[in-house]
Amino acid sequence: MNKRMTALVGILLVTASLAACGQKQTAPTPQPTTPASTAPPAASPTASPGAAAGGNAPEGAGSGSQTAQAESLFKAQCIACHGADLGGGVGPNLQKAGSRLSEADVKNIVLNGRGGMPAFKGNLSDTDIQALAAWLAAKK
């Protein structure tokens, strides 16, 4: 009887965790904090794209604002299942997602879901999904 109770509690915990990942949430659209006329100059052509945001984004990872947008989206939409450090949990580890998935693959998974992951098509804008896909694909 005790083993049955333990198994039931385990099943309920897994079910609750998966249900939390499937909840529809919308992330607020990040708003610029600096008017365009007083924005700082763009990073020099020799600087990496992530340098302007203080990050160390690899070539092709997108602009600093796209990186910040993706990080914000990840915190709002993905952290519950993939962990604050992208190390996984309920969902898989994404720390090196770009070494096994292309940007198009990531975008397709975010749009349509896969396995226990819900689809975010209709919950996130195309711009948000693209920013998230580029950011995760750059994780190598």
In a domain, 109, yes or no: yes
Amino acid at 63: S
Q: What is the pLDDT along the chain (140 residues), one digit of tens a residue?
A: 566 666 555 555 444 444 445 444 444 444 444 344 344 443 333 333 333 333 333 334 456 888 999 999 999 999 999 999 999 999 999 999 999 999 999 999 999 999 999 999 999 999 999 999 999 999 99
Residue 7 belongs to some domain of the structure: yes
The boundaries of the domain holding residue 111 are 2-23+61-137
In a domain, 94, yes or no: yes
Q: Does residue 78 form part of some domain?
A: yes
> Is the whole-model pTM more than 0.75?
no
The answer to whether position 108 is within a domain reads: yes
User: Is 81 annotated as belonging to a binding site?
Assistant: yes
Total structural domains in the chain?
Answer: 1
CB of 135 closer than 8 Å to CB of 61: yes
The CATH number that applies at residue 86 is: 1.10.760.10
Any binding-site annotation on 117? yes
Note whether 117 and 21 are within 8 A (CB).
Answer: yes
Is residue 131 within a helix (H) or strand (E), and if so which, with residue range?
Answer: helix 126-137
Q: Does 5 count as an annotated binding residue?
A: no
Question: Is there a binding annotation on residue 21?
Answer: no
In a domain, 74, yes or no: yes
